[in-house]
Amino acid sequence: MMNRTFKSGESREQPSLLPPRIEDYVGSDNSVRAIDSFVCALDLAKLGFLHANRRTGVGQPPYDPSDLLKLYLYGYINQIRSSRRLEREACRNLELIWLLKNLKPGYRTIANFRKENWAALKAANRSFVLLLRELGMVGGTLVAVDGALFHGNASKDSIYTRRKLAKQIANLDQEIEAYGKSLDANDAEEAKPRADGSGDGNKSGDGDVGDKMKELMARRERARADLKDLETGDKGQVSKTDSDARLLSKGDQTIAGYNVQSVVDDKHKLIVASEVVNRSDVGHLHEMAKAAKEILEAETLQILADGGYYNSEDLKACEDDGIKAYVPAHEGNGKLEKQGRFARKDFSYDAATDTYRCPAGQRLHPTKTPWTNGSGRIEVRYLGSKATCGDCPLKVSCLSPEAKYRSIFRWEHEDVLDRHRQRMASEGAELMRRRSAIVEHPFGTLKCRAGYQHFLVRGFDKVRGEWSLMALCYNFTRLLNILGFDRFVAHMAEKASVARKSGVASALRAIPLVLRTLQARIALWLAVVMLRATPAS
């Protein structure tokens, strides 16, 4: 064997007898084939992709949506998200050349596909969850929900709160006033005759000054209009670059963007339901739990969430829908404890007598008329008596200085919260430990491993479409890792074969109808021919 310093490649001038087939560009177990088999098994027209139902027409035909969907799936799985990078990769990446059969769509076509098909991308993500269910990859009994903040395609400076706008208007007022004063001083100075007698009082630079003043006043008007908009609407913030992005905070992090809600199944930590919102987590528990229960077709479902989701109406709605929620409770703001007084939790409810028992062992009885509190909840007030509370040795730790007796408010559906408290006391600690392990897996993978911390597009619709791609690619990669390439591709091939057979069967079923129609048309045609052939009398 010849001694060589380095390994050497092939000569670029070396001709090949036969050029390689595109099929030879990727190995038989390359994961790109799994993307191909998945997309080929989708009914893109049913999912709502544009042009999926297109018939032959004049002019340049569009790209097949299945090719562009394959391109995006490949891109998001391999951390290539920008349309310009996808365009470049489609020309030089052998896996993509194989996947797209050497098609080279331009970046505008690629970008437009993601923008225009946001609803279809959501539907494709959903259909993948159904596939996960079909493959037995989801347990469907225990899920966890959490929200993660993703930066939007907007800066923090482009989003205004009331406080920020009020401050901006005050600053502009000051600036305008200061500018006006300096102009007056300038005018007075220029009006003075100069010592050499050359001063004629003419003002210089009037045009520039006027423009500057006009600009300041226009900015103030815009800020005032935005403030009015905020005060009359329920948006809370005005976002100039991406109208749906908001300033959102979690822990010590504040971002300009969106809050992505994800429900993750316990069995393999796959995302079964998700939604992009621009508010905090509170108020999304029932909506997300219901979406997960529906797609999992579960009779009952346990859902775990952190304290940010605690909301009594949500807990009731979950219970009504057969969903057991586990959320650490907020027991007030701790004001009474800080004052050294008994809190609500120190009073126990006795359902048999419909009374509360206080720490001194006395009973608080309900008043007859329920009342509606500030947030619209109907509550019943339970009262101690003046006599017992007045003589009570614990009253210093119970009553406020002015009160003669203690009162407790009970929500009309408080039994829901009582059951929730019992659940949390018996199973909560163990389940809460599992919660973070379940739900943080997808976000950890997407944010830290894939580096997806922000959206490239703007507006709810497009952002939801992009999130669907991220979630789909997370689930897709995880499924391949757990199930294995061979089993996945075999399953998709079987699905495609069943679909083909049912297509053939429905085509065969349609034959008699086609023949009957044909027969009727031939009979009509013959009648017309014979009528024409008959000489007019």
Which residues of the shown chain bind ligand SF4 in the complex (CB under 6 A)? 358-360, 362, 384, 388-389, 392, 394-395, 398-399, 406
- From CA 86, how far away is CA 109, in angstroms rounded? 11
CB of 405 to ligand SF4, least distance (A): 6
Q: Which is nearer to ligand SF4, 269 or 395 (CB)?
A: 395
Say which residue the tokens 């080929």 belong to: 40
Strand ranges inside 384-500, DSSP E: 407-411
CB of 367 to ligand SF4, least distance (A): 15
Output 358 or 432, the one with its CB closest to ligand SF4.
Answer: 358
Contact call for residues 275 and 261 (beta carbons, < 8 A):
yes
Nearer CB in complex with ligand SF4: 207/393:
393
Nearer to ligand SF4, 42 or 389 (CB): 389
* Cα-Cα-Cα-Cα dihedral sign, residues 23, 28, 32, 34: positive
Nearer to ligand SF4 by Cβ, of 152 and 384: the residue is 384
Nearer to ligand SF4, 346 or 418 (CB): 346
At closest approach, how far in Å is the CB of 285 from ligand SF4?
Answer: 33
Q: Which CB atom, from 360 or from 417, has the smaller least distance to ligand SF4?
A: 360
Could you tell me the smallest distance in angstroms from the CB atom of residue 395 to ligand SF4? 4
Are 230 and 133 in contact, with CB atoms under 8 Å apart?
no
Query: Residue 446 is encoded by which pair of tokens?
Result: 């997407």
Task: Tell me how far apart the alpha carbons of residues 201 and 216 are, in angstroms, rounded to a whole number.
Answer: 26
* Structural contact between residues 332 and 459, judged by C-beta atoms closer than 8 angstroms: no
> Which pair of tokens denotes residue 9?
């490649």
Under a CB-based contact definition with an 8 Å cutoff, are residues 69 and 49 in contact? yes
Q: How far apart are CA 347 and CA 343, in angstroms?
A: 8
Residue 244 is given by DSSP the state T
Closest approach of ligand SF4 to the CB of residue 254, in Å: 43
Given CA atoms 249, 250, 251, 253 in this order, what sign does their dihedral have? negative
* Token pair of 228 as six digits: 């009015």
CB of 382 to ligand SF4, least distance (A): 10
| SS3 call for 379 | strand
Give residues with Cβ within 8 angstroms of 160, minimum separation 6: 168, 226, 230, 237, 238, 239, 240
Q: How far is the CB of 388 from ligand SF4 (least distance, A)?
A: 5
Q: Which is nearer to ligand SF4, 127 or 407 (CB)?
A: 407
Q: Taking the complex as a whole, how short is the minimal distance between the CB of residue 343 and ligand SF4, in angstroms?
A: 12
Beta bridge partners of 371: 379
State the nearest-atom distance from the C-beta of 450 to ligand SF4, in Å. Answer: 56
Name the nearest CA neighbour of 459 among 279, 283, 282, 278: 278
For 162-182, b where at least 16 C-beta lie within 10 A, e where not — what string? eebbeebbeebeeeeeeeeee
Our CB check for ligand SF4 shows the closer of 167 and 404 to be 404
